Structure formats: structure tokens, C-alpha cells
Chains A and B, each alone.
Chain A
Amino acid sequence: MATAVWEQPRRRNIFARPTATTGWYSWVTTVDHKKIGILYGVTAFVFFLLGGLEALALRTQLATPDADVLSADLYNQFFTMHGITMIFLVVMPMGVAFFNYFVPLMIGARDVAFPRLNALSYWIFLFGGIFIYSSFLLGGAPDGGWFGYAPLSTKLPTDGMDFYAVGLQFLGIASLAGAVNFIVTILNMRAPGMTLMRMPVFIWMALVVSFLLLFAMPVIAVALFELMFDRLFGTNFFQVAAGGDPVLWQHLFWLFGHPEVYILILPAMGIVSEVLPTFSRKPLFGYAAVVFAGAAIGFMGWGVWAHHMFAVGLGPVANAAFALSTMFIAVPTGVKIFNWIGTMWGGSLRFNTSMLFSVGFVAMFIIGGLSGVSHSIVPHDAQQTDTYYVVAHFHYVLFGGALFGIMSGLYYWWPKIFGHRLGEGLGKLNFWLWFIGFNLTFGPMHIVGLQGMPRRIYTYPDGMGWNLWNLMETVGAFVIAVSTLVFLVNVAVSRRKGRYEAGADPWDARTLEWSIPSPPPEYNFAEIPVITHRDDFWHKKYFVGPGKTAEPVFSGGAAEAEHEAEHHIHMPSPSYFPVIAAFGLLVAAYAVIFGLPAVAIGLLITTLGFFGWVFEPGAAE
């Protein structure tokens, strides 16, 4: 390892950088994008389990009419927290986990542009999640819905919505810092020869998502500040009596909220666009179209927000305009589906677990896409809005889409991250239970929605024709829970030494990350590769023969041998200061709710953290 160069005698200096590379301390001070990626992934998975438990509680309450499992109060907290958790603490950070680990590896870089800023993002995310969850112990969790519509959200009596307003701000800082970091990394640190149109689609999606975050997070920041001020300082943004306007919240929220949907789904689309070519043994069909469709979605995503507000009464002209934009954003999405099927067409398909999840993604996303188009039929949207039909729709997009993609990515990249594969037998059981459980849970929601069951109700009377479907949904939710357990067992079992040992390139894959050892060394690339093709690593292994089939290149090509150069590679040293700065913000966040003057203490800690950050030496010396 490259540690040799770090272990020079240290001066006693409060700015001296920490040097540990193993043990828990190394995780706290790490600035290595790979370790941070793992931290993001593990943390997001823990939150996934929490959000899943909330979902099980909700489904148990709704399994039968007039049930008494959860009180109305607890139900409202749980459905709010389920949404916040799955969106902000699971799907978003899972995408960031993959970005962190694989953006540098796939563009041929040794780290991200700002490693310490990257560490800061993670700690803010972790503390933000803990902050929001601590509300359960401090008088009640947020209970105004993840959408927090004013003026209700300004009037709810517990501190829950304060935790919501402050906590989401907090997480927003992490997203913003991450977005800046990834954009600069992707634009500035690509290996020589990796032009934009040679970048893997996953990198393109990371770029689009980062730009969406960059522009969307500040919009919700404005909304959240206004909510926080209305609640804590008696301002009048949403108070009609004093000249405020409750609809302002909805405009700001959905101007963020719809790009947010694409922030959630595009990383999964990027993953699927890497997995399908690998297991079809074919290049991606219509690379340019997939990239362009992703970018088009990124742009058009800004022009559809009011389709969440068809029932607000914006008037027929606005409703018609947003109906049209909503319809036509389906076109680039459809293009992607065709291209994925085109990628598999003519291939030689290997159905590993990772491939199954990607195929599942395509199959399920079609349903979510079609039901999405039906929302743009405004007169009928007035019927289906706020019913379970909508719940079904966005779970087909965010579970059938984003989560299937994330699972696919986990199975695909697991060997690269940990040096061993996940078991295929348990993996397939995992997939099929997941697939069946998913459809059993969310399929019937379409029907029960059309039968007029509204969302966000903690109970419903008998005799509405909803009983059977609700019971089925609850059974399905538990099947998903079992599937998740199977995944955890698979993770534990696969860890056994030597069982599923994987080399550098277990899938015979196409992109740069597979050209280096598994797990990758601290410095990633002993020698920065020079890129000559899209899917450059594949082109080092194969060439296209006369019959349009792949012929192996016999001279070398496989995983690069270790180079002597490694002893001369300096990597950024670990740092204490990101975690200190993030901790200061956590103190400030609690202070906003429980004792305003203490905000100064938190900001002082953060400022000291940044001070140390700026003045610490560039490497351990």
C-alpha cells in the first residue's frame, strides 16, 4: 500500500493530519472516496430497514378495516417518516454511494475533486438522518407528510415539523456539496482520452443528477426556511390572515419535487445501462440517444411541477400547459426503454442476479411510466390524484425502478467493492421474492385507488370493496421483508473466506473499474489509463471480428498488473475536520429547535472545523 510515504515522523501540531488506515478511527477521518462510498451505502441500508419497518407497521394497520394497530397520530408520523426516509435517507444516498465509489473508478481518477468536502457531505448526511430520527424520542416525529403542505405544516403542534424543516435543510447541504464535488470531478478529472461522449452512461447520469441537485436543493431550501420561520419566528409566508399565500409552498416544493423524482431514478437508469450491456455481451444500444434522453429528462423535469397541483385551481390554461409537458416528458423515458431492450436484442444474455434485477427494472418501469402518463389526463387526474392509484404509480417508479436498479448495482459491483461475489442461489431467491412481493404489494394499489381509496388515511370503513386488496398488499409487504432478510443472509454467508472469491473482472465487463484489482487499491490506478474508446476496457480485451462478433485480443489486456509506481503515489491524508464541522451543524440544528442562542455554539464548532480545514497541511508530515 501507499502508506509507506505517510509514515514519516509527525510534528506535534494541532493541524497534523491523522494517519490511521485501519480500525474505526480510519473510517471517521477517511477522505477516500471508496470508504466514503461504503459508509454511504451501509448508512442508507440501515435507514432502508427503518423505513421498511415503518412501512410494515403502516401495512399492518391497513390490512383490515377499522383496525387499531396504530393510532391516527402514530400512523401520520410513520407515513411521513416512511416517505422522508425512503427519499432522502435511502434512495438519494444510495445513488450517492454508487457515485462516490464508482465515479472516480469509471473515469480513471484517483479520487474526487474535493475529498474532504466529500467526507463532510457524508457526515452531514449521517447526522441529518440521526437528527430527524431523534424526533421520535423528543416529542414526536414529523407528521405533516413528506410534502409538508402549508398551512397545516405550520400549525401542527409537536416539534416534528421543526425537525422536518431543519433536518431536510441539513441533508440539503450534504447533497449540494456532493453535487459540486461530482460535477467538478467529472468535468475536470477524467483520464486522458475520455471525452464526454466516451463516458459510461452511469457517469452521464451522475452528471445530470448532480446538476439537478445543484439547482433543485436551493429551491426547497427557500421553502423550508419559510416554513421554519413561520413556525419558529411567527413570520407570515403562508398565513393568509397576514397576507401570506399557502400555494407558494406548493410551487416551491414541487419545483424542487419533480426534479427530485429524476434525481431518484436517474442513478438507477445509469446502473441498468451498465449492467445490461455487460450481461448481454453487447455495447449499449443507441448510446447517444440514452445520454441525450437522460439530459432531456433533466431539462424537461423543470417544466412539469404543476402536474402535482392539478387540483389546486390554477386555471384551465395552466392545467392544459402542464398536461402537455407531462405527456411529452414520457417520450425520452420511452426512448430509454427501447434502447435497453435493443441492448439485449441479439445478445447472449446471462441471467445473474444483477441482470435479473435490471430486467425487473425495465419490466416494472414500463408499468410506472404508463400509469404516469395517465396522470396527465387532467380531468381524470382529478379523480385519481391523492388516491392509492398514485401510490401505486410512484412505487412502480421508485421501488420497481430505483430500488430494483440499486439492488442490481449492489449485486453487480459487490465483487469490485469487497473482492467476493454475492451468492447466486440466495441472490435469485432474493430477486424472485422481491419481484413477487413488490407486485403483490403495489399492484393491487392501482385497483383499490380506482375504487376510490384516498392516500394518507389511517383507517377505512368496511364495505368499501377495499378489504381484499389491502390484505393482499400487506401480505406482499411482508414478502418484501422476507426478501430483504434473504439479502442480509446472502451478505453474511458470502463473506466466508474463499467462497465466492472474485478476480478483477468476474463478469467480463466493459468499463474501467474492472481493469484494476478487487477491491481496488487506495490509489485506484497505479498508472492513469489513456482512453481510446467508449467501453475502453472491453476494447483492450476484444475486437469486433468479421462476423460482427467479439474476438478476444490475445496479447495482455486483462486486469493490469501491479506497478512499481505505487510507492510514489501520494493520496490525500485523512482529516478530522469534516466530522468536526458536521458535528457543529448538528449542534446548531438542535439549537434552532430547543434553544436559539446555542446556535452560536454549533456555528462556532463548525467555524473552528473549517478553520482547521483550511490551515491543515496538505498531507501528513
Chain B
Amino acid sequence: MGAGEVPGEGGRAARAGGGVTGAREVRAQGAEISAPALGMILFIASEVMFFAGLFGAYFTIRGGATGWPPAGTAELEIWIPAAATVLLMVSSVTMHAAAEAAGHGRDAATARWLLITIALGALFLGGQAFEYSQLDFTVSDHSYGTLFYSMTGFHALHVFAGLVMLGLVWIKTSRGHLSHGRSGPVVAAGLYWHFVDVVWILLFATLYLLR
């Protein structure tokens, strides 16, 4: 990140201690993966546990429930979320294109693909907001509502965080901060975006398809 030979912080971490001008160049043990990418992989591993906890809660409560959804609550409409799912899956493809472009140092293409990805993510959130407005139960009505809103809500928050992350990367790309093959942040943000996408597919299957 930024200029100068700084140990740690970004791709420079690959060299132990960063630039030691005047001393012999030494390569750190390990360090096959760039620090931001490794950090992101670890963070995603931790997020997997978070969603595993939520899914665990879902199946614990659903397993002990007498009716699902409880009597008096209609089954969920499937078309809007299905369309949103397609949007999100397409956004994973465009994200992949952005990372590819960044890997080849094509800044303009990277920025463009990032912008398309952001737009698709924003559309997904819009679709979810619309779906919320159509539902006839609330978060406090019953454990079904509690689980539905908290799981989709947490996912939406992650989509939002992903959008912020992509936004920052987009600004940096447009300003030329990430040229010369420093694609680490784009790759890292991309990993996160794909993760959010995969979680949604699991959520969609669990909440809408598993009747």
C-alpha cells in the first residue's frame, strides 16, 4: 500500500522486513501468497464459521418446530429472489473479469468491470429491499420470521460491505494506485465477493427451496 519500502501492509510483506537498502536482499520463509490475499482468505474462513453458526441456529430451531412456516404464514414467493440470485451470480462473473484485467495490468478494463459488479450488487440489494416490503410477517412474530430476516439481513450487510470494499478498490484503480501489477487488493476484494455470492446460493436453497 502506498509508496516507500514498508514492511508489512500489503504486497510488500512478501519480503521479510521490506526493503533493507544496503543490506543483502533476503526472501522470507513462506510468503507464496501475498499478504492481502492471505489475510482475506483467513477472514473468509472466519466468515464461513459465522454463517455456519447461523445455519446451525436455523436447522436447530427448524428441527424442533411443529410447522414451517408456522400456521398462518404463507410460503415465500420465489421469483424476485430467484432473479436476484441470477444478478448476483452474473456479478461474480464480472468480478472475475475485473480480477483478470487487473492481473494483466489493464486498468481501464478493471475499473469498468468493477463498476458493473457494483451496479449488479446494488440491484441485488434493491431487490431484497423490495421483497422485504412485500412480506406479511415481521422479525418478532415468530422464530421463522426471526431467522428469515436475520439470515438474509446479515447476508445483505455482507453484500453492502463488499460493495464498500469494491468501491474503495474502484477508486484506487481509477486513480492508478493499483497499476504495475499490484492487483492484490482487487484479487482480495474479488475473493470476498465470490464468497458472498456462494453464501447467498446456500441461503436461497435453504430459505426458499427447502420446503
Contacts and interface: CB of A to CB of B under 8 A. Distances in A.
| A–B contact at 8 Å CB threshold (below) | yes
Given A218-B47, A618-B1, A564 B22 contact: yes
B30 A251 contact: no
B28 A191 contact: yes
B203 to A, nearest CB: 14
Contacts of A234: 139-140
Interface residues of B, number: 59
A503 to B, nearest CB: 24
Contact of B26 (A222, A233, A530, A571): A530
B38 to A, nearest CB: 5
A217 to B, nearest CB: 7
Interface in B59-82: 60-61, 64-65, 70
A225 B33 CA distance: 33
A221 B57 CA distance: 12
B28 A192 contact: yes
B142 A191 contact: no
A565 B25 CA distance: 12
Interface stretch (A106-114, A157-165, A405-413, A484-492): A106-114
A235 to B, nearest CB: 4
Interface centre among B13, B33, B47, B145, by most chain A C-beta atoms within 10 angstroms, is B13
B16 A191 contact: yes
A194 interface: yes
A114 B144 contact: no
Contact of B28 (A190, A239, A611): A190
A528 B23 contact: yes
Contacts of B61: 237, 243-245, 248
A568 B5 CA distance: 10
B184 to A, nearest CB: 12
A515 to B, nearest CB: 15
B9 A237 contact: no
Interface string B144-164: 111000100010000000001
Interface in B1-60: 1-9, 13-14, 16-23, 26-31, 33, 35, 38-39, 42-43, 45-47, 49-50, 52-54, 56-57, 60
B123 interface: no
26 contacts: A109-B28, A111-B8, A114-B9, A115-B9, A116-B9, A188-B30, A188-B31, A189-B17, A192-B16, A215-B49, A218-B46, A218-B49, A219-B49, A242-B142, A243-B142, A245-B143, A248-B57, A251-B56, A252-B57, A526-B23, A527-B23, A563-B23, A570-B4, A570-B5, A617-B3, A619-B3
Interface of B: 1-9, 13-14, 16-23, 26-31, 33, 35, 38-39, 42-43, 45-47, 49-50, 52-54, 56-57, 60-61, 64-65, 70, 139-146, 150, 154, 164, 168, 172
Closest 8 CB pairs of A and B: A618-B2, A222-B53, A243-B143, A218-B50, A234-B140, A190-B29, A568-B21, A218-B49
